[in-house]
Amino acid sequence: MGIRQGSCTQAGISQGFVEAVGNTPLIRLRLLSDLTGCEILGKAEFMNPGGSVKDRAALGILLEAEESGALQPGGTVVEGTAGNTGIGLTHLCNARGYRSLIVIPDTQSAEKIGLLRSLGAEVRTVPAVPYRDPNNYVKLSGRIAAEIPGAIWANQFDNLANRRAHYASTGPEIWEQTGGRIDAWVSATGTGGTYAGVALFLKERSERVRCVLADPHGSALHAWATGAGLKAEGSSITEGIGNSRVTANLEGAPIDDAVRIDDQSALETIYQLLWREGLFMGGSVGINVAAAVETARRLGPGHTIVTVLCDSGDRYRSRLYDADWLASRGLSQPRRERVPA
């Protein structure tokens, strides 16, 4: 990439949004580390300037499109997204002089859809239909891009610039921050970019690092990763993770194990992170951290496990943190127990 994520031209000073992406800290999750006897560390991707891990993929995609000449000044970036990649892309388009057109399923949170509009994106909400349907939001965004002069299709699911961004930035950061003492990398995946880019980098550094795919119910990836084929069971309220297919970004990535997490367990996890760690997190973080705890159980005490704190709970307040909405989905809002003085 032309600009390294998180680079600074002067110590402590980032040149705009672009250079502020990356170099996020690792946060030790004290309660869960103490509980498991392992070091469970969360990569604080919610601290990126656009608020999520998807800033890295958005930047990688944009920079490669500029370098190839596909994206010219004044052009348009079109993407089908569950929200966070579109948010990152729109921030970047504002910073670099492009228009953004975002196609998003109408099942995604009102907070994300509203934020995209506030940022200035042209937002088209569409019915949520399976990938095999020609009107799936991903396929539709590709057709729209082809019809607009000077537009590019970000194509985050199958554009390898996505995983290259994580191979070039997220993976090296984790390796350096842990001093190479990492035993397992655990992450859910939607596009495959974060999981695969980091896994490919870490495996090059040490074959002993276990790469563990976390997955919600309703996704086919857990079954695929454990040798049962692309079969999905159940459903999930989580947004932006899980898939019914193996994307180009995920293809060929090392997978040593897979963990499937149900929605209630993910909810319990994010509420505990809030009440006991002070971290206000989104639903995919619940999948990631719960899977990291299960990985710690499988490996036994004394291991270092890294996962991703993808985004904050602010984008899901009307859902994950609303008792009535959760009850309408057959889920219970966790109850806070009084912590002894």
Helix (H) or strand (E) holding 153: strand 151-153
Domain membership of residue 4 (yes or no) is no
54 a catalytic residue: yes
Q: How many domains does the chain have?
A: 2
109 shares its domain with 184: no
Of the residues 54, 112, 203, 231, only one is catalytic, namely 54
Domain membership of residue 257 (yes or no) is yes
Domain membership of residue 76 (yes or no) is yes
Within 10 angstroms of residue 314's Cβ, the number of other Cβ atoms is 15
Domain membership of residue 258 (yes or no) is yes
Its domain, for residue 89, covers 54-153
105 shares its domain with 127: yes
pLDDT (tens, 9 = 90+) of the chain, 341 residues, equals 444 565 555 667 888 999 999 999 999 999 999 999 999 999 999 999 999 999 999 999 999 999 999 999 999 999 999 899 999 999 999 999 999 999 999 999 999 999 999 999 999 999 999 999 999 999 999 999 999 999 999 999 999 999 999 999 999 999 999 999 999 999 999 999 999 999 999 999 999 999 999 999 999 999 999 999 999 999 999 999 999 999 999 999 999 999 999 999 999 999 999 999 999 999 999 999 999 999 999 999 999 999 999 999 999 999 999 999 999 999 999 999 765 54
117 shares its domain with 262: no
How buried is 149 (Cβ within 10 angstroms: 0-12 exposed, 13-18 middle, 19+ buried)? exposed
203 shares its domain with 310: yes
With beta carbons less than 8 A apart as the criterion, state whether 234 and 218 touch.
yes
Q: What is the CATH number of the domain that holds 305?
A: 3.40.50.1100
- What distance in Å separates the CA atoms of residue 70 and residue 38, rounded to the nearest whole number? 46
Q: What tokens were used for 192?
A: 């495959």
Domain membership of residue 335 (yes or no) is no
251 shares its domain with 187: yes
41 shares its domain with 97: no
144 shares its domain with 207: no
220 shares its domain with 312: yes
